[in-house]
Amino acid sequence: MTSIRHHIPEDILASYVSGSLSYAFSLIVASHISLCKDCRARLETHEAVGGGLLEATKPAPVSADLLDNVLGALDAPFEAPRTFARQGPLPGPVVEALGGKPPVWRSLGMGIGQCVLQRSKNQSVRLLSIPPGQAVPDHGHRGLELTLVLKGAFSDETGHFGVGDLEVADEHLEHTPMALEGETCICLAATDARLKFNAFVPRMLQPVLGI
């Protein structure tokens, strides 16, 4: 396992902890934590604070029958919710988002493939597969874009990103991520706004591709 150098920024982790982060970004956070024991420890630290607050909360009496209801249900048969284990480079949360099935890639041209996991008006999250040495067209951002490397590596104007690394891009960054030679790069990418492509062709294709 490579060592991870780019982690979840504190404000994003905190929004995840408090439940205010969108589905798309939550999927990125949960996937990074599945790969990164540092950020898992940070998450569990937040939970220790939460536990401290819970312990200090003034108790409110519960209904007399609540305990009996719970005890009565302990032995009732139940269907354990399906859990999703890692599949190759895909961490459990991504496998869950795919419903346990392998990704179906659609071509974006230039050998780049995508598999949309969720898309709505305000957010989207997708898998991208970029052939070795291939660049994603140069673009800027209208909002926040989080990219988590699952396989291979890419580099752009800001640095080098290997397996487990998370890149945070916002309005201030324009970049041309390029997959490193040697191995196909698979990323999980989430945005809360459409990207701004500088070249005409990707801009024209944008509505079709839904990026």
Partner 1 sequence: LDAVSEQTLWLMAVRDRQDRQAFVNLFDYFAPRLKGMFIKSGLSAARAEDIIQDTMLNVWRKAHLFDPHRAQATSWIYRIARNRHIDVLRRENRPLPEELKIEDQPAEDASQIVALEMETEKLRSALMRLRPEQRELVEKAYLGELSHSDIQAETGLPLGTIKSRIRLGMERLRHEMKANTAS
Q: Of residues 4, 26, 129, 153, which one binds partner 1 by CB under 8 A?
A: 26
Give the separation between CA 33 and CA 164, rounded to whole angstroms: 9
Each residue 21-60 as x (binds Zn ion by CB under 5 A) or -, in order, gives ---------------x-xx---------------------
What is the Cα–Cα distance from 109 to 209, expressed in whole angstroms? 10
Instruction: Please choose, out of 70-78, 156-164, 175-183, 203-211, the segment that lies near partner 1 by the rule CB under 8 A.
Output: 70-78
65/207 with CB nearer partner 1? 65
Task: Report whether 12 contacts 2 (CB < 8 A).
Answer: no
| Residue 33 binds to partner 1 (criterion: CB under 8 A) | yes
174 binds Zn ion per the rule CB under 5 A: no
Please choose which of Zn ion, partner 1, none residue 145 contacts, taking the beta carbon within 5 to 8 angstroms, the exact cut-off set by kind.
Answer: Zn ion
DSSP for 126-151, written as a single string: EEEEE-TTPBPPPEEESS-EEEEEEE
Under 8 Å CB-to-CB from 67, ≥6 apart: which residues?
A: none
Distance of alpha carbon 5 from alpha carbon 3, whole angstroms = 6
Q: 55, 64, 77, 82: which one contacts partner 1 (CB under 8 A)?
A: 55
For position 151 contacting partner 1 by CB under 8 A, the verdict is: no
Separation of alpha carbons 126 and 115, rounded Å: 5
105 touches partner 1 (CB under 8 A): no
CA distance 112 to 147: 15
Q: Which segment (69-77, 105-113, 138-146, 170-178) binds partner 1 by CB under 8 A?
A: 69-77
In sequence order, what are the beta bridge partners of 160? 155
Which candidate, 147, 136, 130, places its Cα nearest to that of 191?
A: 147
Q: How far is the CB of 102 from partner 1 (least distance, A)?
A: 18
> Residues in the site for Zn ion, rule: CB under 5 A?
7, 36, 38-39, 145, 169
Q: Which spans of this chain sit near partner 1 (rule: CB under 8 A)?
A: 10-11, 14-15, 17-20, 23, 26-27, 29-31, 33-34, 37-38, 40-63, 66-67, 69-71, 73-74, 78, 80, 83, 85-86, 91-93, 96-97
